[in-house]
Amino acid sequence: MRQAYIIGIDIGGTDIKAGLFDKNGDIREWRKVTSAVEKGKNVVLKRIKTLVKKFEENRVNILPVVGVAVAGIIDKKREYIIHSPNLQGWDSFDIKSALEKRLERDVVIENDANTAALAELWRGEGRKLKNFMLITLGTGLGSGLVINRKLWIGEDGSAAEMGHTKIVLGGLRCGCGARGCLEMYSSSQAIERIVKNVLSKKVDTILRIDSHTKTVSPKIVYKAAKKGDEVAINIYREISRYLGVAIANVIYLLGIKSFILSGGISNAYDLFIPFLKAEVSKNLFYPFSEGFQILKGKLGNRAGATGAAYLALQVVKKRKQQGKKR
């Protein structure tokens, strides 16, 4: 393949991120706009088209397939969104056709946690791993499973939704409608709930709710924990307890030994990981209790778009192979 460029796009609830990559996965151009989901699908689609057009203005040799990561559960054929808490009003929407029509290019879509896993496989901590699970800790908890260096999507395409596995019987109500899902106990919304709960009691802490946004960002908790604030440190202990059980269950169930953390909370890796490793270990018997690793993802907030580009590249390669066989 001659030097060619690949477009990878990540449609999230807040931003649309788009990258122009070379075939080694190096970013040549990077663009970001707000998603404006509240303005409706057409506005979002138009914004994506504008991003792609800007790439096309500067380069001619762009692959005919565009990779798109979506924050939501998608169907097995990767054509429409089954459910997305971040892209409200997009449920049952045939996003593939809509984008292909607008962009006049073929489009391959995938769940954003899955593309983040592919990004680590291509360019990050997963490069030398055969099997691993990627866990993104953001507002929710997403995950992507790589087995034999391939994405495992399960029989109906929705595999590795670890955020909705149940960790507390009859527990807190999740955005999905069920109770006790892991993402209610181990995510930035969990951190926020715990902080609000703590601050409603008389405790000695430097943690405060931001008076403008009325929220507590994971960054505030991280800074407080770094200063030795016991309350903030305990928050990492608490979210680790739940995530530790979930990871130990995956180890017993699948025999996977490597986990890669990504998403906003993973920036607190140095504080958080000792607790998490101890919790995972506590829930496993020997030798499983020692034979696992938890790594910090390398791709940061570019993981979704990077993995989407990787996926597009795979589709083009496959087509070439099939073309040769004919």
Rule CB under 5 A: which residues touch Zn ion? 164, 174, 176, 178, 181
Q: Considering the complex, state which of residue 136 and residue 258 has its C-beta at the smaller distance from Zn ion.
A: 136
Smallest distance, Å, CB 74 to Zn ion?
A: 17
Gap between the Cα atoms of 272 and 192, Å rounded: 16
Smallest distance, Å, CB 181 to Zn ion?
A: 3
Q: Considering the complex, state which of residue 7 and residue 167 has its C-beta at the smaller distance from Zn ion.
A: 167
Smallest distance, Å, CB 172 to Zn ion?
A: 10
Q: Cα–Cα–Cα angle for 276, 282, 284, nearest 5°?
A: 110
Amino acid in position 73: I
Structure tokens at 25: 């996965």
**Bridge-based pairing state of the strands 132-137 and 258-262:** parallel
Smallest distance, Å, CB 184 to Zn ion?
A: 7
Smallest distance, Å, CB 190 to Zn ion?
A: 12
**Bridge-based pairing state of the strands 73-74 and 81-83:** antiparallel
Give residues with Cβ within 8 angstroms of 125, minimum separation 6: 132, 260, 295, 296, 297, 298
Helices then strands, counting H and E runs in the chain, come out as 8, 12
Q: Considering the complex, state which of residue 181 and residue 235 has its C-beta at the smaller distance from Zn ion.
A: 181
Gap between the Cα atoms of 233 and 247, Å rounded: 21
Q: Considering the complex, state which of residue 47 and residue 164 has its C-beta at the smaller distance from Zn ion.
A: 164
Enter the DSSP assignment of 168: S
Gap between the Cα atoms of 299 and 309, Å rounded: 13
Q: Considering the complex, state which of residue 178 and residue 203 has its C-beta at the smaller distance from Zn ion.
A: 178
Cβ atoms of residues 227 and 245 within 8 Å: no
Smallest distance, Å, CB 161 to Zn ion?
A: 8
Tell which residue, 312, 224, 307, has the closest CA to residue 268.
224
